[in-house]
Amino acid sequence: MSVSGFDGLVQGLHQLDNFCIAAHENPDPDSLGSMVALYLGLISLGKKAMMVCGDPIPYDFPWAALVAVQAPTEVGPCQNVVVLDCHPNRTGTAKPLVEQAQTVFNIDHHVGNRGETTYHYIDTAEPATASMVHRVLRQLDVTITKPMADALYAGIVGDTGGFRYGNTTSSVLALGAELVALGAEPDTTSRLIFETKSWGFMSLLGRTLETMERSADGAVVWMTVDHDAFKESDVDPQEGDQFIQYSRMVSGVKVAILFRETSPGTIRLGFRSHSLDVGSLARTLGGGGHRLASGAKVEGTMDQWVPRVVAAAQALVDSEGGHGIGRNHECH
Q: How confident is the model over 87-129, as pLDDT tens digits? A: 999 999 999 999 999 999 999 999 889 899 999 999 999 999 9
User: pLDDT value at position 331?
Assistant: 30
Average pLDDT over residues 292-298: 93
Strand partners, 214: 221
Report the alpha-carbon distance of residue 52 to residue 50 in Å, rounded: 7
309/139 Cα distance (integer angstroms): 44
Dump pLDDT digits (tens) for 303-314.
999 999 999 999
Q: Of 300, 290, 249, nearest to 270 (Cα)?
A: 290
How many residues can be counted in the chain? 332
At 56 the pLDDT is 85
User: CATH classification of 199-320 is 3.10.310.30, yes or no?
Assistant: yes
Cα gap 184→50, rounded to integer Å:
23
Residue 60: per-residue pLDDT: 83
Is 329's pLDDT higher than 50? Answer: no
**What pLDDT band is residue 1 in, cutting at 50, 70 and 90?**
low
| Residue 80 in this model has a pLDDT that exceeds 70 | yes
Residue by residue, DSSP assigns 64-117 as GGGGGEE-GGGS---SEEEEESS-GGGSGGGHHHHHH-SEEEEEE--BT----S
Q: Calculate the alpha carbon distances from 293 to 105, 228, 279, 313 in Å.
A: 24, 26, 7, 13
So what's the pLDDT on residue 2? 76
Whole-number pLDDT of residue 326: 37
Per the CB < 8 A criterion, the answer to whether 248 and 276 are in contact is: no
pLDDT of 288:
86
Does position 155 have pLDDT exceeding 60, yes or no?
yes
Predicted local distance difference test score (pLDDT) of residue 322: 53
pLDDT of residue 28: 93
CB under 8 Å to 178, separation ≥6 — which residues?
none
CA distance 240 to 221: 16
Quote the pLDDT of residue 332: 29
Q: Read off the DSSP letter of residue 14.
A: H
Question: CA-CA distance, 173 to 33, in Å (whole number)?
Answer: 17
pLDDT tier at 4, thresholds 50, 70, 90? confident
- Degrees, nearest 5: CA angle 298-301-306: 80
* pLDDT for position 325: 43
Is the predicted pLDDT of residue 57 greater than 90, yes or no?
no
| Helix pair angle (29-44, 146-159), 10° resolution | 160
Beta bridge partners of 65: none
pTM for the complete prediction?
0.86
Q: Residue 248 has what pLDDT? A: 94
- Kindly report the backbone phi and psi dihedral angles of residue 55, in degrees, each rounded to the nearest multiple of 5, phi listed first: -125, 160
Condensed to tens digits (0 to 9), the pLDDT of residues 169-220 reads 999 999 999 999 999 999 999 999 999 999 999 999 999 999 999 999 999 9
Which strands make up the sheet holding 80-84, listed edge to edge?
3-4, 119-122, 103-108, 80-84, 19-22, 49-52, 69-70
What whole-number distance in Å separates Cα of residue 285 and Cα of residue 6? 31
Q: What are phi and psi of 260, to 5 degrees?
A: -120, 120
Answer for the pair 97, 20: CB distance below 8 angstroms, yes or no: yes
- Domain limits of the chain? 3-194, 199-320
- Quick check: do 3-194 and 199-320 share a fold? no
Mean pLDDT score of the chain: 93
Query: Residues 13-51: pLDDT tens digits?
Result: 999 999 999 999 889 999 999 999 999 999 999 999 999
121: β partners:
107
Choosing among 1.10.287.130, 3.40.50.300, 3.90.1640.10, 1.10.10.10, the CATH entry for 3-194 is 3.90.1640.10
> Does residue 280 surpass a pLDDT of 80?
yes
Cα–Cα nearest to 184, from 293, 279, 61:
61
- pLDDT of residue 65 exceeding 50: yes
